A and B are shown apart, each in its own frame.
Chain A
């Protein structure tokens, strides 16, 4: 049985030197801590903190420098530097950066303590980045918990709003259970293979453990599917999502829908492909079923929503269904398509949420009726939202189109023709509810002509998301190369 790597066996000097690879996470964590420390000194004038938080994320981007090109497991095998982590770390930071940019007006309007908000977003980002960049089950779990617990608190930050409290408590109760199931699955895997390192788990399983412990391994796989499925918002583990997103502060819902879901996909790629690759046909089949159920239920239920925020929650479920196709295919093309889609989803979904945040910080609610006449009251926002919707539907030349196209062709390539057809049919269904909002914006009369406002910082965040959706679509070629290089190969 292979022994666990012990910190003591590693040269301390080497360890300290290797901290440089952890620079982005360290910078984010330190920035978060600094924000927490100085926010009481600001006595309520916390608006400038947005710049501190954004600067922290930008510095963290720069901190990626030493990690690029580095390969292998470092820091006592806790952190892995490979194509996947090189891809996901900046993607998650980009998501965090956009969310931070979109938030200040909302926080001011709804009297959310900005310091705590930014700090928690940064901590959660550290968590999701770690989830995507480790081969170590314990590290993965810690990252997950760091992100999840930050998420629970974030969801409840509207302290005088009962629905926000409800969202928080629901996320917490169900999240705790999801984590427990995941942890149970992980512990079964450890029991079977005697290792917590995914590469070694893979070796142990191919070395005969998979055959010996087959029933236990299948059970463990199912627990892991359920645990990850919960974080990915996959049907039937999705039920908390609409309530939680509807109640949570809008920027938080936006952040959860891209950050936490994205990280769950990243971690699932590592666990299933790298660790459990030997029983790939089994889990791939389950993911195919989940993908079908998730996209179909998400889209069909979204059709009937009158509240756009709740509609977006179902939309994010449906989008998770598309991404799951990548795991159902589980070929190199499937996984790289999935990476591309997570990137596209991050920008296009945040772009769409941005419009909701915009309405919300102008004192409107998120009912469909509030979108009436937005095309006249705020043409830029309305057009940008339309564009992001086109991308979410998958109409060229947006990022969403190429994402769907890659997933689609990967599925066809792998012989999962029915799943490809289901994707196509689903994207037609989704036209219905996205277009409903567009119709309201451009073809209905506004209830009031009261002007809508946003700060330049919000504008920057919004621009970043929309421009990203455009550029990742129009100039897709370099991103294709990036994701092909980043793919984790099946053993």
Chain B
């Protein structure tokens, strides 16, 4: 199967085209087509993973564009990294497809939704198997487009519209860095093929400074896509999209594409201590930032969103401290339990038609499956033994603990504190939503458990959220780590104690405040008013960007228009006036001197200049004057400019 891995990418593409073209005529607008196709790709991906685990690997590359001595290839590279990612993407995508049949039932653009979901899956899988960075970049852009379309699915409302635009533009800032990084690599090495680049780097054919520069620029792309500080602002807003989309794109797969990008080009980062430090520190900051903001959100989905930001920070941090396995392992476990949490949130949304946690409460009695899903997902996320998150978080903290990269110390403590905060906000969310007494009687009365088409995917994910971590645990002899090429695992007891302690402390604090009400929340808030205000307002990042970048570019545009209308016109008038005077003087001085330049310019400018004084809207004259003003300036500069 491995050598036919292109099928995995092409099938969703076909599904997208078929649903777009014929969905109207198909039963249920073609949703089953998407489900079946993704189901098949899931099976194929599992086969590929099986074969890769047995030692298979493949790379197929065909020339696409030949430009002189440079050519661009198109191909796919299946190695353990790609195989693992294929399974993550197809598994989550499959479950989200099934779930969406229930969640999106009766939506006005049901067909478009499923078509775009297929399109996203195609792009994401293409990104995973791409064998060179340019091709990877193409798909990087395509998943961005799919994300844009799906966030804005309900574009009648202002929120989704703005959010989709924000996501698209903010991530493009990162993409620009990625593109420049590609240019640097191409200039330095003449290739973008991933194995070729790795070869060159390993044989020290690339200067260290170039490598560092390229690595940091490529990381820029990851910062945008994986919502790392300071470009994390788009991800929480992206929650305006349908919840299954948030689960698939903005929790499990696409946002992890940045992490995958760094892992894929890890050979660029490994030799450069600087690049690794940058990744580790940005990851650490992001983990802390997301976790602190998550503590004070009252919208259930936004809690999850900031949690995702925080966990993506964890993954980056792991890569930054030099452990590819820890980063990818957390990507793997996180995909399952975070998808579970989002789908559970979607189930709550389906029942309550709101995400505001302060209007919920007591839902456990109404929707037990959803409640258990959230609890298990929350425990896995908080890192409680023996659930998935425990193993991956421990691996990351250990990697940071043992790492020699500068900044690893910061990353380690950021990780520990974030673990505490994570446990706290998940406990808080679970208690606010599912326990206590209902705060909105009306909504509570109408709440009901979701249909099986939604709860079955939840059940499957619950199992996975528990077990996904076992693939890299003593029980499986660290199968996952060995597959991705990690030799030995060091686990320090002190790290485990700290991690478990932080988690327990977080859970206990959450329980004490929200269930037992041992501490008055208001009193704490009042005591910490400045901090509270700062974090509640998400550190004012949006306000900062609004005031600087956004307003700045609008100003520039306005200024340019104003400049064109006022200053240039004024300059033209001034030059025209001077030219008139000069040419009159020149004309009086010597009429017989034949000088094409002066006569030509003067003849027109005299007439034009006179009219300008009488007719205010002498547009043509303005244009002609500009033309000659530019010409005269050009002539003078040109003569003086020695080249």
B528-559 to A contact mask, C-beta < 8 Å, 1/0:
00000000000000000000000000001110
Q: Is the interface of A mostly helix, strand, loop or mixed?
A: helix
Cβ-based interface call for A301 (8 A):
yes
Contact across chains for B65 and A476 when beta carbons are under 8 A apart: yes
A281 to B556 alpha-carbon distance, docked (Å):
32
The 6 A-B pairs of least Cβ separation, nearest first, read A239-B623, A236-B630, A443-B155, A300-B560, A281-B643, A226-B631
Cβ-based interface call for B194 (8 A):
no
Cβ-based interface call for A174 (8 A):
yes
Give every chain B residue within 8 A of A181 (Cβ-Cβ): 600, 627, 631
Most buried by B among A169, A225, A239: A239
Give every chain A residue within 8 A of B141 (Cβ-Cβ): 395-396
Give every chain A residue within 8 A of B604 (Cβ-Cβ): 177
Give B residues with C-beta under 8 Å from A. Answer: 64-68, 138, 141, 152, 155, 161, 165, 172, 176, 179-180, 183, 187, 556-558, 560-561, 564, 596-597, 600, 604, 619-620, 622-624, 626-627, 629-631, 634-635, 638-639, 641, 643
Give every chain B residue within 8 A of A443 (Cβ-Cβ): 152, 155, 161
Contact across chains for B620 and A170 when beta carbons are under 8 A apart: yes
A276-303 to B contact mask, C-beta < 8 Å, 1/0:
0000011001100000000001001101
A477 to B65 alpha-carbon distance, docked (Å):
5
Contact across chains for B627 and A236 when beta carbons are under 8 A apart: yes
Residue of B nearest to A244 (CB): B623
Extra contacts, 8 of them, besides A222-B631, A239-B626, A396-B141 (Cβ < 8 A), are: A225-B634, A226-B627, A226-B630, A236-B627, A304-B558, A402-B65, A424-B179, A480-B67
Contact of B68 among A236, A301, A431, A484 (CB under 8 A): A484
Contact across chains for A243 and B619 when beta carbons are under 8 A apart: yes
Known contacts A223-B631, A476-B65, A477-B66: A304-B639 contact under CB 8 Å: no
CB distance from A289 to the nearest CB of B (A): 9
Cβ-based interface call for A117 (8 A):
no
A6 to B548 alpha-carbon distance, docked (Å):
67
Cβ-based interface call for A173 (8 A):
yes
Give every chain A residue within 8 A of B624 (Cβ-Cβ): 173-174, 177
How extensive is the interface on chain A, given as a class?
35 or more
A273 to B248 alpha-carbon distance, docked (Å):
55
Q: Which of A89-97, A157-165, A213-221 sits within the interface? A: A213-221
Contact across chains for A219 and B635 when beta carbons are under 8 A apart: yes
A448-491 to B contact mask, C-beta < 8 Å, 1/0:
00000000000000000000000000001100100010000000
Contact across chains for B187 and A412 when beta carbons are under 8 A apart: yes
A-B contacts, 14 listed (Cβ < 8 Å)? A173-B620, A177-B624, A181-B631, A219-B639, A223-B635, A226-B630, A237-B630, A239-B627, A282-B641, A300-B556, A303-B557, A402-B65, A428-B172, A442-B155
Contact across chains for B627 and A428 when beta carbons are under 8 A apart: no
Contact across chains for A301 and B560 when beta carbons are under 8 A apart: yes
Q: Is the interface of B mostly helix, strand, loop or mixed?
A: helix
Residue of A nearest to B564 (CB): A301
Cβ-based interface call for A123 (8 A):
no
CB distance from B262 to the nearest CB of A (A): 22
A221-252 to B contact mask, C-beta < 8 Å, 1/0:
11101100010000011011001000000000
Contact across chains for B187 and A297 when beta carbons are under 8 A apart: no
Give every chain A residue within 8 A of B630 (Cβ-Cβ): 226, 236-237
Residue of A nearest to B635 (CB): A222
A181 to B601 alpha-carbon distance, docked (Å):
10
Contact of B138 among A178, A303, A396, A476 (CB under 8 A): A396
Give A residues with C-beta under 8 Å from B. Answer: 169-170, 173-174, 177-178, 180-181, 184, 215, 218-219, 221-223, 225-226, 230, 236-237, 239-240, 243, 281-282, 285-286, 297, 300-301, 303-304, 333, 395-397, 402, 406, 408, 412, 424, 428, 431, 439, 442-443, 476-477, 480, 484
Contact of A222 among B558, B629, B634 (CB under 8 A): B634
Contact across chains for B638 and A301 when beta carbons are under 8 A apart: no
A236 to B632 alpha-carbon distance, docked (Å):
12
CB distance from A402 to the nearest CB of B (A): 8
Residue of B nearest to A408 (CB): B183
Give every chain B residue within 8 A of A395 (Cβ-Cβ): 141
Contact across chains for A180 and B187 when beta carbons are under 8 A apart: no
Contact across chains for A397 and B138 when beta carbons are under 8 A apart: yes
Known contacts A396-B138, A476-B65, A480-B65: A177-B635 contact under CB 8 Å: no
Contact across chains for A480 and B155 when beta carbons are under 8 A apart: no
Contact across chains for A184 and B626 when beta carbons are under 8 A apart: no
Contact across chains for A184 and B152 when beta carbons are under 8 A apart: no
Contact of A428 among B68, B176, B560, B623 (CB under 8 A): B176
A333 to B67 alpha-carbon distance, docked (Å):
10
Give every chain B residue within 8 A of A170 (Cβ-Cβ): 619-620, 623
Contact across chains for B627 and A184 when beta carbons are under 8 A apart: no
A374 to B176 alpha-carbon distance, docked (Å):
31
Contact across chains for B638 and A218 when beta carbons are under 8 A apart: yes
CB distance from B622 to the nearest CB of A (A): 7
Give every chain B residue within 8 A of A439 (Cβ-Cβ): 161, 165
Most buried by B among A236, A395, A480: A236
CB distance from A226 to the nearest CB of B (A): 5
Contact across chains for A304 and B561 when beta carbons are under 8 A apart: yes
Contact across chains for A219 and B597 when beta carbons are under 8 A apart: yes
CB distance from A131 to the nearest CB of B (A): 21
Contact across chains for A282 and B643 when beta carbons are under 8 A apart: yes
CB distance from B125 to the nearest CB of A (A): 18
Give every chain B residue within 8 A of A477 (Cβ-Cβ): 64-67
A432 to B65 alpha-carbon distance, docked (Å):
29
A240 to B620 alpha-carbon distance, docked (Å):
8
Contact across chains for B557 and A300 when beta carbons are under 8 A apart: yes
Contact across chains for B626 and A236 when beta carbons are under 8 A apart: yes
A225 to B632 alpha-carbon distance, docked (Å):
12
Give every chain B residue within 8 A of A169 (Cβ-Cβ): 620
Contact across chains for A286 and B557 when beta carbons are under 8 A apart: no
Contact of A412 among B176, B183, B558, B561 (CB under 8 A): B183
